[in-house]
Every structure is written in structure tokens, then in C-alpha cells.
Amino acid sequence: MERNASGPSRRRLLQSAALVATAGVLLPATQADADSATDYPTAHWHPASTANYTASNRPSAYTIDRVVIHVTQETFPNTLAIFQDPAKAVTAHYVVRSADGYIAQCVREHDIAWHAGNWDYNTRSIGIEHEGWVDKPEYFTDALYEKSAALTASVCDRYGIPKDRTHIIGHVEVPGTDHTDPGPHWDWVRYLRLVNSA
């Protein structure tokens, strides 16, 4: 009788354990699991298509000595969709949302995002896109400036990049580019002050 009583109990226990183990395998990764792939602790992982960047081993393969500031000329969701479309051939490492400063990481920092329109600058920089348009300064919110500046400060600290306008540049300043972002409404004085106080 003990055998019969303990047999089914043990069987149920083993079945329950198997179900728990199987559920862990079958369930998709949680957001927290996915975010562990980010290089910046408060970023959220939104991977770009692997067709839109070059796998690398930076900073061993290439020195990282610049941060390039961009403005998307698109909405935040559309920007992420563009980066995930293998036909677009464009990405940045990060995208910052206007309303609340939410940060999406789309490409790992050790890889080369295709953001600058200049291969040399792509290999040596981290690209940060900001939701908005160059002619709509209302998109440059306090949250966007503050969260982006903290991200840029972290990048600079991790790679030994000076926190100045020689090393934190706009897309418009990349040689050979035809882009104008971040545009005349981007407050560089405020941004650099926030970067240096982060």
C-alpha cells in the first residue's frame, strides 16, 4: 500500500517537474532576458536585421572614438521597423524616443552600425538616433535630452571618449554626408552640459 501511495505521488511530482522544465524551454524569452543583451543598462533590446550592420569585435578591431547624434525624420516605431527591414541597409546602435526618453538598442556596440554614411566614421563611432524632425523642435523634449545625454556619457566613459564637440558630433558633420541632422534646433550647449554632468 505504501508503494501505491508513494508511486503516484512521485510520478505526479516528476510530471510536474517535467512540465515546469518544458515550459521554461518553450516559453519565449522575457523582456528582462532580452534586455540583458544590451550594452547600456536602461536600454531595451530591439534587434536590427543582421543584413543592416556589420558584425565586428570593436574596440579590438576598430577604435571607438566618436558618438554621432542623429534625428530620425521618422516616428520611433517606424525607425525600429526600418532597422528591422533587411532591404533598408541602415541602422544605428540606439534610438531614443521623444515622449519619455525610452532607449532602444538595435545593434550591439561591438558591431558596426550603418548610420553615418561614411565607412570610416561607421567603424569608429556609436550612432544614436533621436525620434523627431530637424524642423520640429517640440520633439526635443527634456526627457529625450536627459536620457540621451546619460547614454552618451556612459559610452564616452566606457571607451575613453572626450565629452566635447570634437568627439560628440552631429550627422551633418560627418565628411561626405548629405544629411542635416540634428539640425539648427538641437541645443548643443545644453546637451554637452548634460553629458558632462551625467
Catalytic positions, written as ranges = 129
Q: Is the dihedral of CA 48, 88, 185, 137 positive or negative?
A: negative
Q: At 13, give phi and psi (nearest 5°).
A: -60, -45
Q: Are 67 and 158 in contact (CB under 8 A)?
A: no
- Reading the block at residue 179, the C-alpha cell is 544629411
Could you tell me the CA-to-CA distances from 44 to 13, 37, 94, 143, 167 in Å, in that order? Answer: 37, 9, 9, 16, 25
